[in-house]
């Protein structure tokens, strides 16, 4: 007989399916990703640096995983709908590679993957636009509509979502065009609205410089706030490392022996070799943390390791 308490808490089968979805995602091998143009607009450079350095293997809850899936499905649906409009030409794959259009910079470590390129918009039939599609909640969808009404179409994106705006600016810059067309839908692509945004080459250069600083940094950039209760820190997945003196994950990108080099690669000085993506995630037995990732002060350093005095006064040895 079904437990009444489970029914009150929710469908136990659906809850079990959600847990299984989370476990499946968590069991998949971590990827050694590059610094994405889709996150360079985030206000906290430290958060971007932690992600780039693989300081924590991110684990997503079922709701977030479903949002990812909905976003991907919505993009496919919206692309097909756009192609139905007479005169509209939308390319979503690079004819040279057969894959997504991709832009890279900063020795291959700064990357953007574009949803598509579109011409034939009735608003500007001859103009090439880079195209992105986003799926969002009803609340955020209505906020975008209000921003368009208040500020006009070409200023709305920056106000509504600075991260998406920065991504759009990067894509226009690297494509060499001055127009971006974003379609935004509610879940299920029931309602869709669009915004066109103009290029800002000066801001694009600032974003490129920001990306290079993060890639080159051997220690975490400044915190956006010194308190974990700050609204941008409260739900950040890196808050424990940043504010609560938790240790980051071991891996080549958190190791002082590794360096980001050309062609999006990483080099290990200790082993004298180029690291594979799998090695970058896993690390090795000779791993030594970048000192600023350890919540303590260096007491002694040698070839065999580094000794720290941690915040609680205890000593901790990092090394062989």
* Beta pairing partners, 259: 267
What dotted CATH number matches 14-213?
Answer: 3.90.320.10
Domain residue extents for the chain:
14-213, 245-319
Closest residue by Cα to residue 291 from 301, 304, 278: 301
Closest residue by Cα to residue 241 from 289, 283, 287: 289
Cβ(318)–Cβ(310) under 8 Å? Answer: no
Looking at residue 10, what is its pLDDT?
Answer: 77
Looking at residue 8, what is its pLDDT?
Answer: 46
Question: Which residues of the chain are modeled with pLDDT < 50?
Answer: 1-2, 4-5, 7-8
pTM: 0.90
């Amino acid at each position: 007989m079904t437990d009444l308490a489970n029914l009150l808490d929710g469908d136990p089968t659906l809850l079990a399916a959600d847990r299984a979805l989370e476990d499946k995602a968590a069991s998949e091998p971590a990827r050694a990703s590059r610094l994405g143009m889709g996150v360079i607009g985030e206000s906290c450079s430290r958060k971007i640096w932690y992600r780039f350095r693989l300081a924590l293997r991110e684990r997503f809850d079922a709701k977030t995983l479903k949002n990812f899936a909905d976003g991907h499905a919505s993009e496919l649906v919206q692309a097909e709908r756009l192609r139905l409009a007479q005169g509209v030409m939308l390319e979503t794959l690079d004819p040279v590679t057969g894959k997504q259009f991709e832009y890279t910079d900063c020795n291959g470590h700064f990357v953007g993957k574009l949803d598509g390129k579109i011409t034939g918009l009735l608003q500007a039939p001859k103009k090439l636009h880079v195209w992105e599609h986003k799926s969002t909640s009803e609340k955020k969808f209505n906020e975008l509509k209000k921003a368009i009404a208040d500020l006009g179409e070409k200023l709305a994106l920056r106000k509504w979502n600075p991260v998406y705006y920065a991504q759009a600016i990067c894509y226009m810059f690297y494509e060499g065009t001055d127009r971006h067309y974003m379609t935004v839908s509610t879940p299920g692509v029931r309602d869709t609205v669009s915004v066109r945004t103009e290029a800002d080459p000066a801001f694009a250069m600032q974003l490129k410089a920001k990306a290079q600083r993060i890639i080159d940094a051997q220690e975490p950039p400044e915190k956006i706030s010194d308190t974990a209760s700050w609204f941008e820190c409260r739900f950040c997945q890196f808050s424990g490392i940043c504010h609560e003196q938790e240790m980051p994950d071991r891996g080549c990108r958190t190791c002082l022996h590794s360096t980001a080099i050309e062609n999006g690669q990483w080099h290990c000085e200790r082993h004298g070799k180029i690291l594979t993506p799998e090695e970058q995630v896993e690390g090795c037995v000779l791993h030594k943390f970048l000192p600023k990732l350890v919540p303590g002060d260096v007491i002694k350093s040698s070839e065999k390791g580094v000794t720290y005095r941690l915040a609680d006064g205890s000593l901790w040895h990092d090394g062989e």
